[in-house]
Amino acid sequence: MINVIELFAGVGGFRLGLEAASGFNVVWGNQWEPSKKIQHAFDCYARKFEGNGIHSNEDISIVDGENFKGQDIDMIVGGFPCQDYSVARSLSGEKGLQGKKGVLFWEITRLMKETNPKYVLLENVDRLLKSPSKQRGRDFSIMLASFRDLGYSVEWRVINAAEYGQAQRRRRVFIFATKNETPYVMNGRNYDETQMLHEKGFFAKAFPVKEGISEKKKPQSFIMKKDLVEISDAFSMNYYNAGIMRDDLVYTEEVTPIEEAPIPLREILQSDVDEKYYLSEAAIEKFTYLKGPKRIERTSATGHKYVFSEGGMAFPEPLEKPGRTMLTSEGTVNRSSHVVEDPQTKRLRFLTPVECERLNGFPDEWTEGMINRMRYFCMGNALVVGLIERMGRRISEIEKENIDGNQVELELVFTETDAK
């Protein structure tokens, strides 16, 4: 069994996917929403996984690493917030570095130091690779350098769930870090960076990509600077949708997925839907405006006039395609909410909470027990469970390689012998 700590757990998407893959034991999960009297997500998590592991509802910054002594933590997972990861010298200069207060990524690295896991699997919005806008790639570079300094190699991939057979066009960046002394990392040194991204690496086997190198976006490689403050102050980089860092060498490339047929919206719709989900005439009129194309003259705070333009969106949603990216505002009258024509009644309506759960691959009624507004909110924050299940199976393969030790070298020897 691979012992797991789940951070920023939400309603348990990571855990559901790992448990579906089997071979994982989530020994501790943390979910805490600051400034909330009712902890809806935590309550759901604790209810669904009652009796399995410890459930923590406290600020992660005050969690003591001593809690994990003797538990042999193998992996940390979590979907952490996209924040400003800038760092600076401490006031005295010689006492090391200080990160911006309240940034939760530093809590991940703190727990990595205290538990020394073999694996770390994280999820974030894909704009992480380009943030901040005035120094593109800085934040991700700080993360990569931090992992390197802790003795990890890193692979990343931006994955659109619908391109790998899921029901939602949800793009997220996934980051997989592995301890350098593991056989998986050491065996991987038999392959160059392109081979790792296309054939042999973590994501390549779970989420296959097409052969060949992008002509428009040439691969880039560089040596990561040693000084985190120098990276924070001046470094920028245009990261592509896939990449790998081993030691100081970072390589990034734009890869093209070998697409699988997605689940269309039609297949996740419920029948006999309650009247409260149907749109009034006023709501239909509002949606027609919100989702339509626009060219509006506006005046900035400085008095500058400009034209705000916005393209039109499908209204209602095409049922033969997968759903768009679901946001936390789902189920309200705004441009991003899904509106479908109900196949039974031919009337326009919102998606139900259960349909939103299905978009993310959760079991029906997973978030039952909280108000609808929070059910939509939690699903807007959730990840696609099916992707994590595939990653879990891939981690199990890597764990077997780490136990077997020399699996890859043996395969290479056999290949060379056969060739003779």
What domain range includes position 226? 2-260+385-410
Same domain, 373 and 396: no
Q: Which amino acid, one-letter code, is at 361?
A: G
Residue 233: CB atoms within 10 Å = 13
Total domain count, the chain: 2
Q: Which amino acid, one-letter code, is at 203?
A: F
Same domain, 188 and 203: yes
Same domain, 240 and 351: no
Same domain, 149 and 181: yes
Catalytic residues: 82
Same domain, 280 and 319: yes
Residue 415 falls within a domain, yes or no? no
Residue 244 falls within a domain, yes or no? yes
Same domain, 277 and 394: no
| pTM confidence score | 0.92
Same domain, 281 and 241: no
Per-residue pLDDT tens listing for the chain (420 residues): 999 999 999 999 999 999 999 999 999 999 999 888 899 999 999 999 999 999 999 999 999 988 898 889 999 999 988 888 888 877 655 556 677 777 899 999 999 999 999 999 999 999 999 999 899 999 999 999 999 999 999 999 999 999 999 999 999 999 999 999 999 999 999 999 999 999 999 999 999 999 999 888 999 999 999 999 999 999 999 999 999 999 999 999 999 999 999 999 999 999 999 999 999 999 999 999 999 998 888 888 888 888 888 899 999 999 999 999 999 999 999 999 999 999 999 999 999 999 999 999 999 999 999 999 999 999 999 999 999 999 999 999 999 988 886 544 434 443 443 443
Same domain, 27 and 144: yes
Same domain, 132 and 203: yes
Q: At what angle do helices 385-404 and 407-419 cross, to 10 degrees?
A: 80
Residue 41 falls within a domain, yes or no? yes
CATH at 342: 3.90.120.10
Same domain, 76 and 116: yes
CB 383 within 8 A of CB 13: yes
CATH at 48: 3.40.50.150
Same domain, 122 and 205: yes
Same domain, 278 and 237: no
